[in-house]
Amino acid sequence: METVGKSFVRVDARGKVTGEAKYSNDLVPKDCLQAKIVRSTIANGRVTAIDISEAQKVPGVVKIVTCFDVPDIQFPTAGHPWSVEAAHQDVPDRKLLNARVRQWGDEIAAVVATDNVAAERAARLVKVEYEEYDPIPTIEEALAPGATPLHPDIRKDNIFVHTSFKTSPNFDYEKAKQQAIEEYGEENLIEVEGTYRTPRISHCHIEVCTSWAYVDTNGKVTVISSTQIPHITRRVISQALGWPVGRVRVIKPYIGGGFGNKQDVLQEPLNAFLSIACGGRCVCLELSREECISQTRTRHAAKGVLRGLATKDGKLLAREGDIYTNKGAYASHGHAITAGMTTNFKDIMHDAYGCRADGYSVYTTSAVSGAMRAYGVPQAAFFADSLTDDICYKGGFDPLKFRMENCVPPGFVASNGITYYSYSLKECMKRGAEFIHWDEKRKEYANQTGPVRRGVGMGIFMYKVGVYPISLETSSARMILNQDGSIQVKLSATEIGQGADTVFSQMASETTGITMDNVYIISTQDTDVAPFDTGAYASRQSFVTGKAVTPGRGADDLAE
């Protein structure tokens, strides 16, 4: 290998270090109008009337649109590949602006003005009347008898989706427990049960969520956005507007972080609509840091109600878990993350008798949960490891030895049919234990007393790349030979800080034999000219887009 596997200076390093790299807001035209969203001051209810008369008097106000002015179209926001099968499509459960309020800060109107000061002043003067219902911010309140369904047109209660996964179709924890009692004797068994929780977390990317839009002379709306998924954003905008996809164009400049938050289509459809409502003039819609934290997407807060059964000599026999996630007001990435948690919890350990894991996605009147780095794996790992550690504590087992003896084996086939061809879990545990001197410190810290003590801990997790078999993985690349023998590489797989442009440049160099200094990758994506790719998520790009950059070369070839 001449290029792949070697260290190179990142191809985007100079531009980002010197400040020459242009992000969405660096490119906003000077005469661009500024938009501000009017947000609900209640968490659950319905807008009955909006008075914009005083807001319209503010000098500089160009247009005010309300939830009663937008198209009666519900659309999904999740950045998933679109399926032709209705059962696999993301759930459309929101409009550009919502008369039915489902969270504090829900978008109910928008002001467009010549500058931010005028837009913010006018937004504060918009008067809203509500029919208010009781808020239901927690999973327990949303599931309580009599709780108001947030989306009665989609679900009759607040359970968005419930799925059940088992290691075998006939597995039943209680029957497994009875079998264990008969086989080992009740006195030789250890059982642990508990409720474990993980919190909601904000992505806090450096660049806030921002976009600007205009309509060109041919009637095509163009949106320049800080997004991880330009082609999917284009499709969602077209769905929200009821327009053909070909009348929408999305451009993604450099992006200041995303971590999954910008894998949802956030303000772009509304931004496009505001430009159209203003006669095609350029309109910028930038969310504040407060809005990014409270009104975009978060990591799912989750609750795991778990049980585990093991023998007193350290053999894991059975586990079961009911995992509930706080979805918030809208579906966003739907049940995929919750389902991922349940399968990940089930598949990380080998249960001699089997395991059951049920997942429940629950609508609540709180911040919307969506994609965040590792897509449900952190919650699942916390649940599985917490239960494992509690079993080890009760049984007096060494947590490292217990995991080494009870983790899934090489060649394991997960419930979704994916085989674990790559396996180095035990080697990772072994090296980690050696690195932190696990055995020595366990002995050193064994008999401590007092309020302050030291300890060592460990955890394991598993992670797969890509979204197969849930969705189709597809990507494409275009390479153009220049007159001097150098090449231009154009992709729609987005560089969001993870180093993708450098990796693809190395792959292109390796494939063509053209040296790295003669490979020029185009970091800006434009859906009108860039070849199709679903975007940056699921750690997929080196494996999926890489196959488009290196036609005829497999992953094994590049790994040599």
Q: Identify the pLDDT of residue 552.
A: 62
Q: Which amino acid is residue 476, in one-letter code?
A: S
Q: What does the pLDDT read at residue 281?
A: 98
Name the token pair of 125: 């003067």
Nearest to 418 by CA among 358, 317, 356, 347: 347
- Cα–Cα distance measured from residue 141 to residue 321, given in angstroms and rounded to the nearest whole number: 20
Helix (H, G, I), strand (E, B) or coil at 169: coil
What is the pLDDT at residue 86?
84
Question: 218-256, pLDDT tens digit by residue?
Answer: 999 999 999 999 999 999 999 999 999 999 999 999 999
Q: Select from 283, 219, 305 the least CA-distant residue to 33.
A: 283
- The CA-based angle 344-84-163, given to 5 degrees, is 30
Query: In which residue ranges of the chain is pLDDT below 50?
Result: 554-555, 558-559
Q: What is the CATH number of domain 159-200+297-408?
A: 3.30.365.10
**Burial environment of residue 482 by CB neighbours within 10 A (0 to 12, 13 to 18, 19 or more):** exposed
pLDDT value at position 1? 82
- Cβ contacts of 35 within 8 Å, gap of 6 or more: 110, 111, 112, 113, 119, 271, 274, 283, 284, 285
Query: What pLDDT, on the 0 to 100 scale, is given for residue 553?
Result: 52
Instruction: State the Cα–Cα distance between residues 367 and 411, nearest whole angstrom.
Output: 40
pLDDT (0 to 100) of residue 534: 93
What are the two backbone dihedrals, phi and then psi, of residue 359, each rounded to the nearest 5 degrees?
-120, 135
The count of other CB atoms within 10 Å of the CB of residue 69 is 15
How far is residue 50's CA from residue 53's CA, in Å, rounded to a whole number?
A: 9
**Entry pTM:** 0.94
Per-residue CA distances from 237 to 37, 63, 95 (Å): 18, 20, 11
The domain 13-20+471-559: what is its CATH number? 3.30.365.10
- Tell me where in the chain the CATH 3.30.365.10 domain(s) lie: 13-20+471-559, 159-200+297-408
Residues 6+ apart with CB under 8 A from 55: 61, 64, 111, 122, 123, 125, 126
| CATH 3.90.1170.50 residue window(s) in the chain | 31-133+204-295
pLDDT in tens, 294-344: 999 999 999 999 999 999 999 999 999 999 999 999 999 999 999 999 999
pLDDT at 557: 52
Long-range pairs for 406-410 at CB < 8 Å and ≥24 separation? 406/314, 406/315, 406/316, 406/349, 406/350, 407/348, 407/349, 407/350, 407/460, 408/347, 408/348, 408/349, 408/350, 408/462, 409/350
Q: What is the pLDDT of residue 83?
A: 84
Q: How many CB atoms lie within 10 A of CB 281?
A: 18
Q: Per CATH, the architecture of 31-133+204-295 is what?
A: Alpha-Beta Complex (3.90)
Closest CA to 519 of 548, 481, 483: 481
Q: Indicate the helix (H) or strand (E) that contains 54.
A: helix 53-56
The reported pLDDT for the residue numbered 300 is 98
Classify residue 185 as left (phi > 0), alpha (psi -120 to 50) or beta.
Answer: left
pLDDT of 215 reads 98
Whole-angstrom distance, CA of residue 533 vs CA of residue 237: 17
End-to-end CA distance of the chain: 7
On whether the CB atoms of residues 419 and 413 are closer than 8 A, the answer is yes
With contact defined as beta carbons under 8 Å apart, do 356 and 163 qualify?
no
d(CA 350, CA 559): 30
Closest to 78 measured CA to CA, from 455, 280, 476, 368:
368
